Amino acid sequence: MVHPNIVVDYLLAPLQFGFMQRGLLASVLVAAICGILGSFVVLKRLAFIGDALAHASFGGVALAFVLGANIYLGAFVFALATALGIGAISQRGRVSSDTAIGVLFSGTFALGILIISRVESYTTDLFGYLFGDVLSITESDLWTIAALGLVVLALVGAFYRQLLFVAFDPTVAAATGIPARALEYLLLALLGATIVTAIQAVGIVMVVALLVTPAATAYLFTSRFHHMILASVVVGAFSALLGIYLSYYLDLASGAAIILVATALFFVTLALTGRKLSARRVAS
C-alpha cells in the first residue's frame, strides 16, 4: 500500500523548479490547443498539411533567430504563407494539393537548414525547435503560447457552428450561403497558429503527432463532434502531463515522452473499442 503522501511528493517534487512548472504548464496548454484543432485535422484529413506547416515554420524560426526577431512571429508568418501558397498553387489546378504541399514545405524547411548551417554557434539552440525543448521555455514564451491559445479558442468558439457545417458538408454549406472558402482558410490559419505554439514543446518534427494522435484516440470512442473535441483536449493534456513527469523521473526527452504516451493511449483505446469501430464501418 503506497502512502498517499508519497504520491503527492512524487507529483510535487518536480514543481519546485521554475523550468519544470513552465514546461508542464506550456505542454499541457499546447496539447489542449492541439486537441481542438486536431479534431478538424483528423476528420478533414489534414495531417499532411499540418506536418508541412510545422516543417515550413522552421524557415521562419531560423530567419527570426538570425535577425533577432520574435521566433513565434517568424514561425507563424512562414506557416501562414505556406498555407496560403498551397491553396493558391493547387487552385490553379495544374498540380494537386499534396504535390504543392510537398514542394513548398521541403523548400521552406531547407531554407531553415541552410540558415542554421551558416550560423554554427546557434545550432544547438535551434535544434531545440526541431526536436522540442520544453524545459527551456521562458515566461515570455509561456505568455505567447497562452495568447495564441486564447485567439484559437475564441475563433473556434465564435465560428464553431459554421466550421462544423463546412467540415461535415462543404458543398451544402457553400450552397446555403456559408462562406465555405473563407472558413477553410480560417481553419488553415488557426492550424498554423496552433502548430507555432507547439514547436517548442514537442519540436517541429513531432508536432503533427500532438495534433493527430489525441484526436484520433478521441474519434474512437465519441460520436458527436463537440465530445470528440473535449475528449481530444483531455487525452492530449493528460499525455503532456504524464509525458513530462516520465521525462523528469526517467530522464527522457520530454517531447518524445509526451508523444509516446499519446501513442500508447491510442493503441490501448483502439484495442478496447475494436468492436465499435467495425460496427461503424458496417453501418457506413
Judged by the rule CB under 8 A, the positions of this chain that interact with another protein are 43, 157-159, 161-162, 164-165, 167-169, 171-178, 219, 222-225, 227-228, 280-281, 283-284
What minimum distance in Å lies between the beta carbon of 53 and another protein?
23
Residue with cell string 464501418: 281
Residue 143, H or E segment:
helix 139-158
What minimum distance in Å lies between the beta carbon of 201 and another protein?
27
What minimum distance in Å lies between the beta carbon of 97 and another protein?
17
Cα atoms in the 13 Å half-sphere on the side-chain side of 31: 29
| Nearest to another protein of 150, 172 (CB atom) | 172
| Nearest to another protein of 202, 231 (CB atom) | 231
Contact between residue 209 and residue 197 where contact means Cβ atoms under 8 Å apart: no
What minimum distance in Å lies between the beta carbon of 179 and another protein?
9
Q: What is the DSSP string of 72-86?
A: HHHHHHHHHHHHHHH
43: CB partners within 8 A, 6+ apart: 167, 219, 225
DSSP code at position 273: T
| Nearest to another protein of 166, 206 (CB atom) | 166
| Nearest to another protein of 140, 176 (CB atom) | 176
Contact between residue 63 and residue 108 where contact means Cβ atoms under 8 Å apart: no
| Nearest to another protein of 44, 87 (CB atom) | 44
Task: Give helix then strand counts, H and E, for the chain.
Answer: 14, 0
DSSP code at position 93: S
| Nearest to another protein of 122, 185 (CB atom) | 185
What minimum distance in Å lies between the beta carbon of 230 and another protein?
12
What minimum distance in Å lies between the beta carbon of 221 and another protein?
10
